[in-house]
Amino acid sequence: MKIWVPCDAAAVACGADEVAAALASAAGLRGEEVEIVRNGTRGMIWLEPLVEIERDGVRHGFGPMEPEDVPALFEGGDHPKALGPIEEIPFFAKQTRLTFARCGRTDPLSLADYEADEGWQGLKRALELGGAQTIEEVTTSGLRGRGGAGFPTGIKWKTVAGAEAPQKYIVCNADEGDSGSFADRMLMEGDPYCLIEGMAIAGLAVGATKGFIYVRSEYPHAIRTLNAAIKAARAAGIIGDSLMGQGPAFDLEVRVGAGAYICGEETSLLNSLEGKRGMVRAKPPLPALEGAFGKPTVVNNVLSLAAVPWILVHGGAAYAEFGLGRSRGTIPIQIAGNVKHGGLFETGFGMSLGTLVNEIGGGTASGRPFKAVQVGGPLGAYHGPDDFDLPVCYEAFADQGGLVGHAGFVVHDDSADMLALARYAMEFCAIESCGKCTPCRIGAVRGIETLDRVAAGDPAAIELLHELCEVMEKGSLCAMGGFTPYPVRSAIRLFPQEFSLSQEAAE
């Protein structure tokens, strides 16, 4: 009997370790031989701990499980927590899983599991193609940065490849700090070899021999898993002095950040990586030309790098068949907040916002009417029911004064206080600003004060707030201050009455 119990941090927080222990104890009492595999999560967080048992070659799910639910698994008959075949659950069946194809299916640290499921095939093809053709495949795919900016990955790689330098670096930005975002953590804990393979391919493509994975200290499970996976891959000869024993050298190291939100910005991350204070650098020079330790550096998000192995195995053109407009491929959407079915949903760009909130997410967890969803993290815009036809892609959201960002979707019901949430955006910026530029450092503090004046009924404060937002957006050195106006402006536009305004005045 083979049983899978997730080791993902979200599942563990829901009691997965206790369920695994109960399974081992129940099997021992019955004298049953049971193999318990600690897999990654399938991403259906509302069902965690989600136990899977294989029957006739099909894995069946049970959840959310508690230790007292375990004995019934060994007694036969219908189980009250039975969900049927795991991949037929509607939330899962409607997905297009490319980047997360293995996550939840395999033991994250099993090299055999990884190799049996297309593992290292992308790296092998990259070794056959060489650097230039590998970059061409990535460019053809249309892959863009999944960390927020949406910059074309192939262009970034080509720039670093063309830079003359004795040393180049690949840096993975795993400083996932957006509220409602967990895809990076889920992949690092559930399929770490995929990230390692993507970084090795990037190193081969641009001529880099060293890679760093910059992870926030709040992700201890991911840090442990990554370090164990790197050690195993190095021992197997996949990375290290030679890629798979036939290519150039490429090795990896995990660097742990202190948890500053600003270190999700690439130049601040590089300063922190070098042991300096995490402060934003002015551009130029671009990190692609003068990045980590002053050398040409590719800085990509976890999901960007993890998409690369699939692209190399199946071809850039196959990846580009998914998506909408200039937003190609799939996007791992993280649905969170006041929502019935919170979790990770990977799909091609183009699904409507309303479908995600109501059909996939199942509406609000409270059962109260939907009010707004914030997309793209704490600095993302709010979208109401009037935006339900909006397709999830970079261009459509930008046209509406928003951003997809890292694709975190935080749902609110009609009890949400939009003035308080707008104030929180300014407060968050004030706390997390690195302090390098005045529009962000001082502007956010003035934003809190001005919104307090709005709450007190000062009619002149709204005009001042709009002026302040314009200064922050256009004058800030990076997106920290530049995007803070997004949630503020969108909250005013959608819910003017909560700011004591008419619709005409808000617009």
pLDDT on residue 507? 56
Q: What are the residues whose beta carbons fall under 8 Å from the beta carbon of 401, sequence distance 6 or more?
A: 381, 486, 489, 490, 493
Count how many residues are written for the chain.
Answer: 507
pLDDT in tens, the chain (507 residues): 899 999 999 999 999 999 999 999 999 999 999 999 999 999 999 999 999 999 999 999 999 999 999 999 998 889 999 999 999 999 999 999 999 999 999 999 999 999 999 999 999 999 999 999 999 999 999 999 987 778 999 999 999 999 999 999 999 999 999 989 999 999 999 999 999 999 999 999 999 999 999 999 999 999 999 999 999 999 999 999 999 999 899 999 999 999 899 999 999 999 999 999 999 999 999 999 999 999 999 999 999 999 999 999 999 999 999 999 999 999 999 999 999 999 999 999 999 999 999 999 999 999 999 999 999 999 999 999 999 999 999 999 999 999 999 999 999 999 999 999 999 999 999 999 999 999 999 999 999 999 999 999 998 999 999 999 999 999 999 999 999 999 999 999 999 999 986 555 555
- Distance in angstroms (rounded) separating the CA atoms of residues 109 and 111: 6
Conformation bin of residue 449: beta by default, left when phi > 0, alpha when psi is -120 to 50 = alpha
Beta-ladder partners of 58? 55
Q: Is-contact 157 275, C-beta < 8 A? A: no
Q: Is-contact 379 303, C-beta < 8 A? A: no
Domains for the chain: give ranges and CATH numbers: 2-93 (3.40.30.10), 111-320 (3.40.50.11540), 327-413 (3.10.20.600), 418-506 (1.20.1440.230)
DSSP class of residue 355? I
Name the strand (E) or helix (H) holding 37: strand 35-37
Provide the residue type at 431 as one letter: I
pLDDT on residue 259? 86
CA 43, 199, 171, 285 torsion-angle sign: negative
Q: What are the residues whose beta carbons fall under 8 Å from the beta carbon of 221, sequence distance 6 or more?
A: 7, 8, 9, 12, 185, 189
**Burial class of 165 by CB neighbour count within 10 A (0 to 12, 13 to 18, 19+):** middle
Q: Is-contact 303 147, C-beta < 8 A? A: yes
Q: Return the axis-axis angle of helices 153-162 and 192-206, rounded to nearest 10°.
A: 50
Q: Is-contact 339 118, C-beta < 8 A? A: no
- Distance in angstroms (rounded) separating the CA atoms of residues 222 and 391: 32
- Distance in angstroms (rounded) separating the CA atoms of residues 208 and 296: 9
Q: Is-contact 292 171, C-beta < 8 A? A: yes
Backbone angles phi, psi at 209, to 5 degrees: -110, 0
Angle at 183 between CA 103 and CA 385, to 5 degrees: 120
Q: Return the axis-axis angle of helices 131-141 and 121-129, rounded to nearest 10°.
A: 120
For the whole model, what pTM was predicted? 0.96
